[in-house]
Amino acid sequence: MMKKSLIFVSLLLIFGMMAPLLSQSRVVHLNRGRLWHSFHYAQECEPLADWRTMSYGLDSPGYNITEMSSNIGGTYSHMIAGGFFLSALRTIDPDTVQGWMDFALNGDRNTSWDSGMQPFIAKKHEKVWKNGENYYLAVDPDEAEEIIVSVWEKDPQYSDYSTSNKKFNVQVTRTVRQWSGSQADEDYVIVDYSIKSLRTELFGLDSAVLLFTYGMGPTPRAWNYTNPNYLSGARNTQSRHFPDKKLVTFWAGDYRNTIEDESFGYYEYYSYNPMSGENELRQEYMAPRKAALKILDIKLNNKPLDYQFVWCAGQESQDYEGPFSGVAGFENKYEAMKNPMLLYRAFADTNSAFMGDSRLYAVFAIGPFNLRGMGRGELKVTIAEMVGGIDYAKARSYTLADKAKVAAAADSAIAYLNERVEFNYQNQYRVPMPPPGPVFHVSALDSSGIVANLISFNDSAEYIADPHQGSPDLAGYRIYRSAQYPFGPWEKIADIPKKDPRFWNAGNQRYEYKDLRVALGYGYYYSVTSYDSGHDAWAVNPAVSVPSLESSIYANRSKTRFYTTLKPMDADYDLSKIAVVPNPFYVSSGLDNVGDRKMIQFVNLPAECTIRIFTLRGDLVKTIHHDSPLSGVAKWNQISEYGQYVKSGMYFYKVESKNYEHTGKFAIIN
């Protein structure tokens, strides 16, 4: 039996706390393409808060809650926190642990922006190009589109005299790269870590160990819906380790403690259909993608090192220590980092009872190793983080019978991304790039009485040279539309070859596409991408042929809805064509956008008029002053002059302009 509930059932979600946190200056966000991620100055994502969603964490698709009209139940995050722990033995007393630092789950525990406050001080944490100057590789074709550089090191002003947790003579540099403007490469980030001894210190690290640790749980939205009575942090996460590929995958499995099949966040619900007057069963995969972590390289002074891998099951509640829960004392922590099976609820067998029944950490242990002092020792670790699977449209159309298709698509996507990050790394962070998406404008069609949205843009992108080939190669454009959310589902509505006379207006030197398949008063998101025709030989490596590439839908989309409207009628226009839509208004027949379901539209209005709404008894309910030279539509959210939602029933309205007046009626049926 599948879980079914009315879609309008209210959920109490901790995600509602995210809004003020996303603006913190000490967390830098990657939020341009489909994959969004956050980096704290000393770890990935915000510090661990019992698995509550506090920042973007490999969100796919990513979205900004301020762009949404209401809470949809959580994010599409796949990581809650990540980074590494560091420990080592004392140089002058090799039988004693020098200290233990957390740069994975509680980065602000050991690192501060302020001098003298913590063993480590953050020296740098910012994007290289703060305003997107390298989008589409416009500035540096040999680098990523976006780079975040963070540096933290031993704070000489901090006194560790009274504590047994001694500082380490190292500097950590983390470099994050993303190619968010290309559909071929937008679904991963590559993170480089450099742990280097300080030039000013004679000693480096003796018998040091690193423990890269990631809290993985796809996705909060799926977990909130399928198991609303549990705390944050999915317990149904499945994972597999592929040692030959140095790859670990994660996805939402079927939670063994329920009789329903929740694989990939499958959820069924009822939604009211005003045409049939019935609640109809609908479904959605709320975690349709797999996430993966891949070790691309580990080198100590340019010599390769290996790693040990285990999973750890997190505490059921009050989880703030991760794999070190119950591991007391620096000596025990150090030994557990050397032998990760000593960590809290560690396991290496996928048949473990913990798999698919607990919050899940992925742990990569490196060491012990020695790091020479005076800047002569350096450990480099490069990790790729990726998310792939079916698109959002299929996630909403596939049924439970299609579960195998969802899994196969996710596996195929991860296999592609695995090859893609290897190609990227082997080519020193250089990848072919599609032409840039054009700046576009959406407006009402300038023809009275025709309901359509006009998408227009100029041809400036056609004169921008490919960053590697050296000459322009744009072959055409594609237009996408979403009637639901700013992240989709996207529908391709047009494919426009370069200078196609059907769309190119030589008079105003702009492309123009009329989207006629829209409804008056409804809101839509749009995206315009560019594509090329590929190249037989890539200029960077002529042995590589480049297929046709398309720019990212997400990197060049409208962030607010455009509401389909009509141009205002002339001042002397007969107001008899004014209408109310929808009429009658059913409780669930409102606009198909979250938060807009109570909107009623008055259409075919003049630029200036006053609308008054009355009950059958003649009581004034609402007065609307319409004054817009661009729109012949006015919206009403069914809230009266007294701030209350109106009741169901029949209503009259009167529209007055300078020269005419018109009366009509409409019904609200709840």
pLDDT digits (tens, 9 = 90+) for 534-566: 999 999 999 999 999 999 999 999 999 998 887
Q: What is the pLDDT of residue 14?
A: 35
For the segment 317-330, the average pLDDT, to the nearest whole number, is: 96
CA 517 – CA 50 distance, rounded (Å): 46
Q: What is the mean pLDDT of residues 161-171?
A: 95
| CA distances (Å), origin 338, targets 167, 205, 328, 415 | 20, 15, 15, 31
- Residue 307 clears pLDDT 80, i.e. is over it: yes
What average pLDDT does this structure show over 209-221? 97
546: nearest Cα among 83, 182, 264: 182
- pLDDT at 589 exceeding the cut of 70: no
497 vs 531: CA distance, rounded Å: 9
The Cα–Cα gap between 274 and 586 comes to 6
| C-alpha span between 485 and 595 (Å, rounded) | 11
Cis link prior to 489 (omega < 30° from 0)? yes
Range with the lowest mean pLDDT among 137-146, 438-447, 575-584, 638-647? 575-584
* CA 275 – CA 44 distance, rounded (Å): 48
**Does 167 score more than 60 pLDDT?**
yes
| Residues forming a β-bridge with 529 | 478
Distance, in Å, from the CA atom of 149 to the CA atom of 151, rounded to the nearest integer, reads: 7
pLDDT at 356: 96
Tens digits of residue pLDDT in 335-366? 999 999 999 999 999 999 999 999 999 999 99
The conformation of residue 606, written as its DSSP 8-state character, comes to: B
CA distances from 337 to 47, 88, 378 (A): 20, 10, 19
What is the reported pLDDT for 591? 41
The pLDDT value given to residue 523: 87
* CA–CA gap between residue 276 and residue 627 (Å, rounded): 37
Determine the pLDDT at residue 584: 85
Q: How far apart are CA 444 and CA 449, in angstroms?
A: 11
Strands (E), 260-403: 266-273, 278-285, 289-300, 303-304, 308-313, 346-347, 360-371, 378-389
Q: Is the pLDDT of residue 447 over 50?
A: yes
What's the average model confidence in pLDDT over 3-27?
A: 43
Examine the pLDDT at 188 and tell me if it is beyond 60: yes
CA distance 557 to 480: 9
Can you give the pLDDT at residue 467? 98
Sign of the C-alpha dihedral computed for residues 107, 113, 114 and 115 taken in this order: positive
Quick one: average pLDDT of 578-594?
Answer: 67
CATH architecture for segment(s) 575-669: Sandwich (2.60)
CB-CB contact of 426 with 296 (8 Å):
no
In this model, does residue 200 exceed pLDDT 80? yes
pLDDT at 429 exceeding the cut of 50: yes
Statement: 440-563 belongs to CATH 1.20.120.1810? no
* Predicted confidence band of residue 326 (pLDDT cuts 50, 70, 90): very high
**Structure confidence at residue 587 (pLDDT):** 62
**Beta-carbon neighbour count of residue 572 at 10 Å?**
10
High-pLDDT (> 70) share of the chain, %: 92
CA angle 454, 459, 465 (to 5 degrees): 145
Among 34-43, 439-448, 602-611, the range of highest mean pLDDT: 34-43
Strands (E), 485-619: 491-497, 504-505, 510-515, 523-532, 562-563, 579-581, 585-586, 600-603, 608-615
Q: How confident is the model at residue 277 (pLDDT cuts 50, 70, 90)?
A: low
Rounded to an integer, the average pLDDT of 446-452 is 75
Q: What is the mean pLDDT of the chain?
A: 91
Beta strand ranges found along 76-187 (DSSP E)? 79-89, 97-103, 111-112, 120-127, 146-154, 170-178
pLDDT given at position 590: 42
Of 15-19, 29-33, 375-379, 413-417, where does mean pLDDT reach its minimum? 15-19
**Cα 335 to Cα 383: distance, rounded to the nearest angstrom:** 24
The confidence score (pLDDT) of residue 284 equals 95
Q: How confident is the model at residue 509 (pLDDT cuts 50, 70, 90)?
A: very high
Instruction: Give the model's confidence band at 583: pLDDT under 50 very low, under 70 low, under 90 confident, else very high.
Output: confident
How distant is the alpha carbon of residue 275 from its chain centre?
A: 35
Where would I find the beta strands (DSSP E) of 198-307? 205-216, 237-242, 247-252, 266-273, 278-285, 289-300, 303-304
Average of pLDDT values for 249-259? 95
Average pLDDT over residues 70-92: 94
Stretch 645-653: mean pLDDT, rounded? 93
- For position 430, what pLDDT does the model report? 98
Taking 90 as the threshold, does the pLDDT of residue 205 lie above it?
yes
Overall average pLDDT of the 72-82 stretch? 95
Token representation of residue 296? 């691309």
**Amino acid 25: pLDDT:** 63
Q: Measured between alpha carbons, how far is 501 from 521 in angstroms, rounded to an integer?
A: 30
What are 119-165's pLDDT values in tens digits?
A: 999 999 999 999 999 999 999 999 999 999 999 999 999 999 999 99
- The DSSP annotation for 43-55 comes to EEBSPPSTT---S
Q: How far is CA 298 from CA 41, 139, 215, 388, in A?
A: 22, 30, 21, 25
Give the mean model confidence (pLDDT) for residues 458-475.
98
Is the per-residue pLDDT at 3 higher than 60? no
Please spell the DSSP secondary structure of 481-519, one letter per residue.
Answer: EESSBTTB--EEEEEEETT-TTTEETTTTEEEEEE-S--
Predicted local confidence at residue 444, as pLDDT: 87
Cα separation, 49 vs 322, whole angstroms = 11
CB atoms within 10 A of CB 514: 16
- Answer whether residue 69 shows pLDDT above 90: no
Bridge partner list, 172: 152, 195
Residue 374: what pLDDT? 96
